[in-house]
């Protein structure tokens, strides 16, 4: 009769162990089912960090865009400089090649800027350049582009013009600049300009077009040599 008692005691002991193990594992399951405060706080910090980095990236990209725009813009005249204009010309030529469009490139050189600078200083020359840029900008369409290639040389990209229309435009630009009048130190000063034209189309190359328009401009300048270099008249 003692053996059954031992078996009963063993079963009771085993039951106590099983019950105890269940009691110990229950709290562990409860803790794993709910995130800890530390984990939640860490996630919030990570999200805030990501938002901050995204904001800094946006600001950096905006700054890069501003610097690129500044690098393409003439600081004095607020129009494209040579780099910016050549980029616009290359885009236009690529478009013309793809869609069989056409246009014209006009290179325009101010005839008498150096004598103005020598006689009245570079501030006077800057005023002349500003007036010329304003005059040209007012006489082109929104789709056209006017830029400063450097020094006293401007360039205009004009869309959808025939050869006759392009030459007429060049003559109009020359006349508009010839008509400008300035007064420095009590003296009236007249500037002037010579323009050369190169047609643009599906077979054009940006670099070659600039060379052609520049060469035509110098031919035109030679024809205008009979005009007065600079007029200084007491006002």
- Tens of each residue's pLDDT in the chain, 235 residues: 445 555 555 555 555 555 444 545 545 554 555 567 777 777 777 877 877 777 777 776 676 655 455 589 999 999 999 999 999 999 999 999 999 999 999 999 998 899 999 999 999 999 999 999 999 999 999 999 999 999 999 999 999 999 999 999 999 999 999 999 999 999 999 999 999 999 999 999 999 999 999 999 999 999 987 665 555 544 3
Q: Give the per-residue SS3 of 79-117.
A: CECHHHHHHHHHHHHHHHHHHCCCEEEEEEEECCHHHHH
Burial string for 110-144 (b: 16+ CB within 10 Å, else e) reads bbbbeebbebbeeebbeebbeebbebbeeebeeeb
Active site residues: 152
Contacts of range 132-135, beta carbons closer than 8 Å, 24 or more positions apart:
132/177, 132/180, 132/191, 132/193, 133/77, 133/78, 133/79, 135/176, 135/177, 135/180
Q: Which residues contact 119 (CB under 8 A, 6 or more apart)?
A: 184, 189, 230, 232
Sheet architecture: strand order including 145-150:
145-150, 153-159, 103-110, 193-200
Write down the pLDDT at residue 15.
53
User: Which residue, chain included where needed, has tokens 């270099």?
Assistant: 229
Note the pLDDT of residue 233.
46
Q: Residue 159, Cβ neighbours under 10 Å: how many?
A: 17
Alpha carbon of residue 162 to chain centroid = 29
Q: Which residues contact 226 (CB under 8 A, 6 or more apart)?
A: none
pLDDT digits (tens, 9 = 90+) for 25-67: 545 554 555 567 777 777 777 877 877 777 777 776 676 655 4
Q: What is the pTM of this model?
A: 0.71
Other CB atoms closer than 10 Å to residue 96's CB: what's the count? Answer: 18
Report the half-sphere exposure of 211 (CA within 13 A, side-chain side): 5
């Amino acid at each position: 009769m003692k053996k059954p008692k031992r078996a009963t005691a063993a079963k009771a002991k085993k039951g106590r162990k099983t019950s105890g193990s269940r009691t110990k594992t229950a709290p562990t399951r409860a803790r794993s089912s709910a995130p800890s405060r530390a984990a939640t706080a860490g996630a919030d910090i990570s999200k805030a960090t990501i938002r901050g980095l995204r904001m800094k990236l946006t600001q950096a990209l905006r700054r890069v865009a501003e610097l690129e725009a500044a690098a393409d813009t003439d600081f004095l005249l607020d129009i494209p400089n040579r780099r910016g204009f050549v980029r616009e010309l290359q885009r236009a030529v690529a478009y013309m090649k793809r869609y069989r469009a056409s246009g014209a490139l006009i290179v325009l050189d101010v005839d008498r800027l150096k004598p103005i600078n020598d006689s009245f200083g570079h501030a006077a020359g800057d005023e002349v350049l500003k007036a010329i840029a304003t005059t040209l900008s007012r006489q082109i369409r929104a789709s056209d582009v006017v830029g400063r290639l450097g020094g006293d040389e401007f360039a205009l990209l004009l869309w959808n013009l025939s050869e006759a229309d392009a030459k007429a435009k060049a003559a109009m630009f020359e006349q508009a600049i010839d008509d400008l009048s300035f007064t420095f130190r009590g003296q009236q000063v007249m500037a002037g300009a010579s323009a050369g034209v190169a047609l643009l189309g599906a077979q054009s190359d940006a670099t070659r077009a600039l060379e052609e328009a520049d060469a035509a401009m110098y031919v035109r300048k030679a024809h205008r040599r009979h005009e007065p270099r600079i007029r200084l008249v007491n006002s």
